[in-house]
Structure 1
Amino acid sequence: MEHQIDLTVEQDPSRSYRLLPEAPACGPRELTVTLRSSARDVVEIAMWSETGLLPQPRAASHHARLTIGADQIASLSARLISRWQRFVQFEPVSGSNRLREKKPYLHNANLTVRPQSELLAQVSELAREGAYLLGELLAGEERALVRFRGHLLNVLESEDLRIRFDSDLGVPWPMLAVGCERLLEGGRLTVDPFRLFLGHRHQVESTSGTYPDYWWVSDRHHAVGSANLDKDLKNVPLADDVLKLLNSRLKDLNVRHFSDKLLPDLAQPVLDEDVMYFFCHGSYEEHGGRTWHALRLSDELPIDAPLVDGYRKPHTDAAARRNSVALFHPLVVLNTCFAGAPATTGFTGLSAAFVRHGALGVLAPQIAMPQVFGAEFALRFLTCYLDEGLTAGHALLETVRWFATTYRNPLALTYGLVCGLDSRVVTSPQEGTTGS
């Protein structure tokens, strides 16, 4: 006897995305710098340009061996981050050594009300520290290193370049600085110290190791995403404005407050979000001499890189066996303390974990970020990214420069972008492409 079989055909099996056979058209990297460490005391540096910005070397790239070891670079990077943390905790004193105001940089995002002599002195010192790290990184008199240093510094002292730092070592690249020798003449400031930082001069992204090698193009007209929040931070000024912005610019916004909502979604083969925003607490976990970063939503479960890896890895591995991809492609904004800090040991960082499983990029601060500034930063960055349609790299640069000019606050420089320089979302019906 014949039976009628009901068939259900999924109308959009690709969920409005097409996988491309090669990278889509995007802006070239004017400069790529790599640091490779085969041993603690052996660090090789190389660089090249996709636009002919550097003189053509006889080899494939400019390269040299550094005189500084991996442990020294890690220590100096941690020291620079610590120096920025002291900036946040700064307390001015009067002539009688009594506090005039308790931690003004911690409690105010807008620093134009501060005495400019005080503020510029602090920012100039941060620039000097950033230049010191860069100087120590490139120090040495070996002929190849001297030539390499001259070419690199000449490029870094220009502006508005697109730069990738691909490194085995965690270096807070946006917080490094160039040109500090021009800061003072006759004891007076002659250059705005904000303009000396690499994160103010250029679009910068960091990469580390091997990431998934595939690209997406969107066929849909509206972005979707999530807000992953700690309820304790809901009253932070402008936190609600960030949520309203996300809700108005994303067609579907999934709001999560607890790990038991986030983790089941991470466990799904398809986690189809264009933006994954976190605003919660972050801290260092420590055990047995090992230190790593974790974040927490409104409950006490620490969410760290191995936890993310454990939930996503089965889908990433299964997709690799099928020669396909697991649908996970957000720009992840980890607006949580220390989330981008490189000076950790024991586990892979959260940023790398998200990117390894498909995230287009991760934006995160490298210090314990003041909550007030964190909300202000997110509102400004996401406005550039979602409202104005800028790429993540361009949006970050515009955000850094806006805070430097309008609020005279350097803390936006502590946000680092891991991958994602070209990431952008489709947010209007007039944009997008038609599936073929």
Structure 2
Amino acid sequence: MDHEIDLVADQDPSRGYRLLPAAPVCAPRELTVTLRNPARDIVMISMWSETGLLPQPRASSHSARLSIGADRIASLSARLISLWQKFVQFEPVSGTNRPREQEPPYIRYADLSGRPRSELLAQVSELAREGAYMLGELLVGEEGELARFRGHLLSVLEHEDLRIRFDSDLGVPWPMLAVGYESLLDGGRLTGDPFRLFLGHRHQVEATSGAYSDYWWVSDRVRAVGSANLDSDLKSVPLATDVLQLLGSQVQLTERHFRDELLPDLSRPVLDEDLMYFFCHGSYEEQGGRTWHALRLSDELPIDAELVDGYRKPHSEATSRRGTVSLFHPLVVLNTCFAGAPATTGFTDLSAAFVKHGALGVLAPQIAMPRVFGAEFALRFLTRYLDDGLTAGLALLETVRWFAATYRNPLALAYGLVCGLDSRIAPAQQEGTTGS
């Protein structure tokens, strides 16, 4: 007698045809810089190039021990971010030292091209000077190895249009750093365009968050899938509805407005979205002398890194044991105040939490971003990313340069990309969405 035998496949030898041995679309990085903090007072820096841009050392590699420690680097980073926040809050004053306008102009308007040239040049020049100062302090020291390392690194950073990865144990606002400030000075006065001094204006830049991901993702769907995770009150912000219309036209879109809509989806083994867009409020939480970042949708319930980690961790661990890929692979755009700022010691930042569990990359601002600018930025970036099919790194660089040239606004530089330099939404007629 024939008996039906139940067969259970405990393994997936093909891995769903989703794992590739190498990136299908991944240009080499001209420069990778690592900062490692093996002990409290020790920070090691190293660098290499995949394109031969750096001279090959006769022995060893390009590395050195920094003369400053992790605490000093954290303080410099926090200070630079605070100076950018002060730029946002700048208020021109009259002869009586009273504000000339009811609200700071850089909060009210994304287009600053109509502001007095001398005013804007002075403000942006000061940000460039501070960015150059921090880069100088990061590499300060006369020890032979460090001096040689500094010379090689600065000579490479002064190029333009490079693809750079900063792989660091420490949170540093890399796009806000600047090079070549002295070259624009003539008799103590700045004579050139300060926008082009910032690393985020010169190069495609990504950082890493300490999270590790060892696979490349390919999706062969006909239409990309995405979500808009929103605070309903922000729909009245100019151009916010234009962003939603763009998303709706380019991806199969899900809208979420409350935490209890997002968390059940995060708890699913498969959250197969190519893009997750957030436009909501973000703030720092504080308890017991510690601070960390959280965002909120239309309700007052916080969503922080530990919450994301808790909901995704069971699936990430299960897929790791099976040797498969968890179906969670979006580019996450956190258009939320402070979402990209370094996390307080002892807390994971949101970017790291998303990347840890499979996100191809996270794009987020490191300051409290004005709502008007946030919507303008999202529309410009997502148009280049979705409509034009650019990689996230190139879409961000072109967005930064567009705001600098057209609106004379540096705030796009406050958006940092964690991983995702090669993430892209392939045109519908082509096969694949790829990312790193």
- Asked if 2 retains the 8 angstrom alpha-carbon contact of 1:392 and 1:422, the reply is yes
More deviation, 18-27/118-127: 18-27
Check if 1:200 corresponds to 2:237: no
The amino acid that maps onto 2:199 is: L
Q: Structure 1 residues 186 and 157 mapped into 2: Cα distance closer, same or farther (>3 Å)?
A: same
Structure 1 residues 42 and 108 mapped into 2: Cα distance closer, same or farther (>3 Å)?
A: same
CA offsets per residue over residues 321-368 of structure 1, 9 Å max, x none? 111111100000000000000152331000000000000000000000
Amino acid at match of 1:123: V
Matching residue of 1:419: 419
Aligned to 1:432: 431
Q: 1:346 to 1:25 in 2, by over 3 A?
A: same
Residue 240 of structure 1 aligns to which amino acid in structure 2? T
User: After alignment, is 183-192 or 292-301 more displaced?
Assistant: 183-192
State whether residues 305 and 350 of structure 2, in contact with CA within 8 Å, keep that contact through their aligned partners in structure 1: yes
Consecutive unaligned residues in structure 1, runs of 5 or more: 8-13
**Paired residue for 1:248?**
249
Equivalent position of 2:11 in the other structure: none
Give the SS at the match of 1:383: helix
Report the secondary structure of 1:19's partner residue: coil
**Residue of structure 1 equivalent to 2:130:** 129
Residue 15 of structure 1: CA displacement?
Answer: 12
What is the 5 A alignment of 1:335-350? 335-350=335-350
How far apart, in 2, do the equivalents of 1:16 and 1:335 lie?
33
CA contact (8 A) 1:205 1:421 kept: yes
Partners of 1:111 and 1:407 within 8 A in 2: yes
Q: How does 1:257-406 map to 2 (within 5 A)?
A: 257-406=257-406
Corresponding letter in the other structure for 1:330: P
Using the alignment, how far apart are the partners of 2:235 and 2:151 within structure 1? 49
Query: 1:390, 1:88 → 2: CA distance?
Result: 29
Residues 68-88 of structure 1: CA distance to partner in whole angstroms, max 9, x if unpaired?
A: 010000001000000000000
Alignment of 1:9-88 (within 5 A): 18-59=18-59, 61-88=61-88
Structure 1 residues 146 and 233: alpha-carbon distance in aligned structure 2, compared to 1, 3 A threshold = same
Partner of 1:183 in structure 2?
184
Specify the alignment match of 1:156 in structure 2.
Answer: 157
Q: Secondary structure at the match of 1:234?
A: helix
What is the deviation of 1:16? 9.3
Deviations 1:188-230 (A, max 9, x none): 4321000000000000000132412001122222211000000
Q: What is the TM-score normalised by the length of structure 2?
A: 0.94
Q: Could you tell me how far 1:405 is from its partner in structure 2? A: 0.3
TM-score by length of structure 1 reads: 0.94
Aligned residues: 425
Q: Is the 8 A contact 2:25 2:422 kept in 1?
A: no
Structure 1 Cα separation of the partners of residues 218 and 17 of structure 2: 6
Q: Which amino acid is the alignment partner of residue 152 of structure 2?
A: H
Q: CA deviation at 1:182?
A: 2.1
Instruction: Describe the SS at the equivalent of 1:44.
Output: strand
Q: 1:4 offset after TM fit, Å?
A: 10
Query: What code does the residue aligned with 1:83 have?
Result: L
Q: Quick one: structure 1 residues 337 and 24, their matched pair in 2 at CA, closer, same or farther if it must change by over 3 Å?
A: same
- Structure 2 CA distance for aligned equivalents of residues 16 and 113 of structure 1: 54
Q: CA deviation at 1:232?
A: 1.1
Distance 1:15 1:426, change over 3 A: farther
Structure 1 distance, partners of 2:52, 2:15, is 39
Matched residue of 1:278: which SS? strand
How far, CA to CA, are the matches of 2:369 and 2:324 in structure 1? 38
Task: Answer yes or no: is the 8 Å Cα contact 1:237–1:372 preserved in 2.
Answer: yes
1:433 CA displacement: 5.5
Q: 1:16 to 1:253 in 2, by over 3 A?
A: farther
CA RMSD in angstroms, aligned pairs only:
1.9
Identical columns (%): 80
Alignment match, 1:11: none
In 2, are the aligned partners of 1:221 and 1:426 still within 8 Å (CA)?
no
C-alpha separation between the residues in 1 aligned to 2:4 and 2:343? 63
For the Cα contact (< 8 Å) 1:218–1:426, is it kept in 2?
Answer: no
Provide structure 2 residue ranges, at least 5 long, that are not aligned to the other structure.
8-13
CA-CA distance at 1:184 after TM superposition: 2.4
Q: Which amino acid aligns with 1:236?
A: V
Residue type at the aligned position of 1:159: E
Equivalent residues of 1:280, 1:335 under 8 A apart: yes
